[in-house]
């Protein structure tokens, strides 16, 4: 997923890969405007099948912020019940 984030940012902002780092601010450092931010989020959503809430997007300022959303969204998409045959350790 992290390579996807880099690829989408590089493509949408037409910048070199070496400019994309976790602490790079999408607007101040990489030159994204509001349209580019929306396009980046939409493309990541399309590739992953994930959906970003407006609340989650309000906290996105850096490349690292986008990367941090990935594990959170992946956990939310998982079923709450373990699959049949799944054994939890420490439980009898």
- Told to judge if 29 belongs to the known catalytic residues of this protein, a careful annotator would answer no
Catalytic, out of 7, 25, 33, 65: 33
What are the distances in angstroms from CA 47 to CA 1, 4, 43, 62, 92?
A: 9, 8, 6, 20, 40
Tokens of 25: 């601010």
Q: Give catalytic residues, as residue numbers.
A: 33
């Amino acid at each position: 997923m992290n390579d996807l984030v880099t690829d989408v940012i590089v493509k949408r902002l037409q910048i070199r890969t070496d400019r994309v780092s976790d602490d790079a601010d999408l607007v101040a450092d990489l030159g994204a405007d509001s349209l580019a931010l929306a396009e980046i989020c939409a493309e990541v959503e399309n590739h992953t099948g994930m959906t970003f809430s407006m609340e989650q997007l309000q906290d996105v300022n850096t490349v690292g912020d986008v990367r941090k959303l990935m594990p959170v969204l992946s956990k939310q998409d998982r079923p709450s019940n373990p699959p049949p045959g799944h054994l939890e350790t420490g439980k009898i």
